[in-house]
Structure 1
Amino acid sequence: MAPDSLRLAGAQFTATGDPTENLRTIADLTARAAERGARLVVHPEAAMASFAGRLDTIAEPLDGPFADGVRALALEHDVTLVVGMFTPADAITTQDGKDRSRVHNTLLVTGPGTAETIYRKIHLYDAFGTTESDTVAPGDEVVTVDVDGWRVGLSTCYDVRFGEHFTELGRRGAELVVLPASWGDGPGKASQWDLLTRARAHDAQAWLLAVGQAWTKYAVSGPLGIGRSVLADPTGEVRARLGGGEDVLVAEIDRATVERTRATVPVL
C-alpha cells in the first residue's frame, strides 16, 4: 500500500562551472537532507554546472562520471535524487551563422527502488533577450516517475510559464510536481516566480516543490539564481519557503490534501 505521506527536501545552492566541485556540494546537501529523514531530495536546474560556461563542452552522457556520482550518492544515503545536468544533443546553425553542438537540459531521477528516469526540458528560455535554443535542444515528452508510492511530475524552470504542462501532469496522476530552476534575478522576477509557482501547483492540483539556485547578483550572463525555493500545496498555498542563500528545505507532504482538493474543486 502506498504511504500517505512523503518527506522531501529541496537543496538550494549556487553551482560553479566545475561538475566535480558541484558534486561535492550535492553530496553535502544530500547528506543533510537524509539526516533529517528526507526520502526524495531535489537539487536545482544546472546543478552539474552553471550556465556561465559553454554547455556543449561541459555536457556528459548519462553513463559519465557526474551521473555515476549522483547514483552513488543516492545509494549511499538511500534516497531518490533529482539533479539538473546537461547531456549531449544535436548540432545546429545559430542565428549568427555559427555551427554549434547543443545539449539537453536534463533532470536525472535515480535512487534505490525508483526506476531511473530522465526529463528533458521542453520549454526553452527564448525570452528576456536570451536564446536558450541556440545551445539547448528541447525535449518533447511529459514525464512522471513513481517515488515511494507517489506519482511525481517533472518540470524545469521556464516550464513554469506554461500552465498546460502542469495540468497535463495532474491529469497523468502526479500528486507532486518538482521544478528545479536556475531563475535569474532582475526587475519583477521575484514576484513572477512567487506567482507562477503558486499558480502551477493549482493547475496540477498537486504539491509543488520548486528548487532554485541560490541568489546571485543580476547579470546578463553567468550563474543565475534568485533563491526563494518553495513548497506549495495543491491549492497554491505556500507551506514553506527559503531565503536567498544556500539552504535545505525539508517538509512532509500528505496525499489526503491532494485528494481533498481534487474532490472539492474538480478542475482536472
Structure 2
Amino acid sequence: MKVAMGQFAVSREWQANAAVCTDLMNRSQASGADLLVLPENVLARDNADPDYVLKAAQPLDGPFVSQLRTASRGHLLTTIMSVHVPDGAQKVRNVLIVIRDGEIIAEYVKLHLYDAFAMQESQRVNAGDAVPPLIEVAGMRVGLMTCYDVRFPELARRLALDGADVLVLPSAWVKGPLKEMHWELLTAARALENTCYVVATGECGPRNIGNSLAIDPLGVVIAKAPESAALVFAELDPQRIAYARSVLPVLENRRFAPPELQPR
C-alpha cells in the first residue's frame, strides 16, 4: 500500500481548507497513493477563538464534506480526516470520516477528548461511544484513531486484535514542553507493541507541531514530515508485518483479554 500524509495549517475559512484538501487529494491520486491521511479537524480553525469550532461546524452533508466527496468521485484513493459536526446545543462531535469514490464509507466519533495540558476539549465536544470500525485499503486492514487516542494503548490493542494491519491517526498535536517527544514516542510505541504500521498526520502551523510520521511494525520511522506544510509518501508492506509478527509475536503471547470500551 502506498500512503500519503498531507499536513497543512488549517485556516479560518472552510473554503480555503477544502481547496487545500482537494489539492492534496489530487496530488496523492496522481502519485499513485492508495490512502491519504489528513490532519484532525480540517474544516476550520481559529486559534484565537476556542468557540469557533461551534460556529464553524457543519453536518456531514454540508458544503465542506460534500465538496470533498465530489472531488473523490471516480477515484480509488481513500482519504481520511476528521471534522467537527454539530451535536446539540453548544456542542459538536469530532468525527473521523473515510471518503472513497464520492462516498463516506466509514465514520468514527473520537473517544478520548483532550482534557489535558491546560486544555479542555470536552467543554465544546461530545465524546463517542463506539469502537471504530476497520476498513480495507489495497488489501490491508486499517484501524481508525484520532489524536489524543494515541495516549490510550487499549484502543490500539483492540484494533490490532480486531485485525488491523495499519493504524491511522489524524491529529492536531499542540506544541509545548516535551510534546514533540511524546508524539514520536507514543506513535512508535503503538506500532511496536501491536506490530502494526502507524500513519500519523499532524496539523502544522503556529499552534501545532506537524511532524507527520509513518512507522513500521518494529517501530522504525519510514517517513517523516517537517514542521511546515508537506505531502509525504510511504510504502507499507504486508510482508514486513508478517516478519515482525513472526519474530515478535506479542499479540499471540499476551495474557490479557481484549480491551472493552467502558460506558461513560
TM-score higher than 0.5 here?
yes
Classify the secondary structure of the residue corresponding to 1:139: coil
- Relative to structure 1, is the Cα distance of residues 173 and 115 closer, same or farther in structure 2, using a 3 angstrom cutoff? farther
Deviation at 1:264, TM superposition (A): 2.0
Kindly indicate whether residue 156 of structure 2 is the aligned counterpart of residue 173 of structure 1: no
What is the identity percentage for the equivalent residue pairs of Structure 1 and Structure 2? Answer: 38
Q: Are 1:11 and 2:3 counterparts?
A: no
Q: Unmatched 5+ residue regions in structure 1?
A: 1-5, 92-100, 217-223
Tell me, what secondary structure is at the counterpart of 1:146?
strand
The whole-number CA distance in structure 2 between the counterparts of 1:43 and 1:261 is 27
Distance (Å, rounded) in 2 between the aligned partners of 1:47 and 1:236: 28
Contact 1:114/1:147 (8 A) holds in 2 = no
1:44 and 2:39 matched: yes
Q: Tell me, what secondary structure is at the counterpart of 1:127?
A: coil
The one-character-per-residue Cα deviations of 1:17-61 (angstroms, maximum 9, x if unpaired) are 211110001111222222211111111001111263421221111
C-alpha deviation, 1:127, in angstroms: 0.4
Structure 1 counterpart of 2:96, one-letter code = L
**Contact residue 69 and residue 103 of structure 2 kept, 8 A:** no
Whichever residue aligns with residue 259 of structure 1, its letter is A
Equivalent residue for 2:116, pick from 127, 137, 146: 127
Q: Given the alignment of the two structures, is residue 85 of structure 1 paired with residue 107 of structure 2, yes or no? A: no
Gaps of 5+ in 2: 252-264
| 1:112, distance to aligned residue in structure 2 (A) | 2.8
Matched residue, 2:257: none
| SS of 2:234 mapped into structure 1 | strand
2:192 matches 1:209: no
**Displacement after TM superposition at 1:204 (Å):** 2.8
Q: Distance in 2 between matches of 1:125 and 1:47?
A: 17
Q: Deviations over 1:109-142 (max 9, x none)?
A: 0103987101111100000111100101111222
The aligned runs of 1:105-116 (5 Å cut-off) are: 105-112=94-101, 116=105
Q: What amino acid is the match of 1:140? A: D
Residue of structure 2 in register with 1:94 after alignment:
none
8 Å Cα contact 2:211-2:225 kept in structure 1: yes
Give RMSD over aligned pairs. Answer: 1.6
Q: Distance in 2 between matches of 1:148 and 1:118?
A: 19
Residues 134-143 or 122-131, more deviating: 134-143
- Residue aligning to 1:151: 141
Q: Are 1:12 and 1:211, in contact at CA under 8 Å, matched by a contact in 2? A: yes
2:229 to 236, 246, 250: 246
Alpha-carbon distance change, 267 to 31 in structure 1, aligned in 2, over 3 angstroms: same
What secondary structure is seen at the aligned counterpart in 2 of 1:200?
helix
Q: 1:227 aligns with which of 190, 210, 218?
A: 210
Structure 1 residue 211, shift from structure 2 partner: 0.2
Q: Secondary structure at the match of 1:14?
A: coil
Match for residue 95 of structure 1?
A: none
Distance 1:113 1:51 in 2: 28
Change (3 A) 1:15 1:131: same
Q: Which moved more, 1:32-41 or 1:74-83?
A: 74-83
Matched, 1:160 2:150: yes
What is the CA–CA distance in structure 1 between the aligned matches of 2:91 and 2:195, rounded to whole Å?
A: 34
3-state SS, counterpart of residue 81 of structure 2? strand
- TM-score where L is the length of structure 2: 0.89
Contact 2:97–2:104 under 8 Å retained in 1? no
Please state whether the residue corresponding to 1:90 is helix, strand or coil. coil
143-152 or 23-32, which deviates more: 143-152
The match for 2:219 among 222, 225, 236 is: 236
Aligned residues of 1:10 and 1:248 also touching (Cα < 8 A): yes
1:110–1:116: 8 Å Cα contact kept in structure 2?
yes
After TM superposition, the structure 1 = structure 2 runs for residues 40-79 of structure 1, keeping only pairs within 5 Å, are 40-50=35-45, 52=47, 53=49, 54-75=52-73, 77-79=75-77
**Which one is further off, 51-60 or 65-74?**
51-60
Please state how far the C-alpha of 1:193 moved relative to its aligned partner: 0.7
Out of 237, 241, 248, which is 1:258 matched to? 241
Paired residue secondary structure (2:246)? helix
TM-score (norm 1): 0.88
Counting matched residue pairs gives: 247
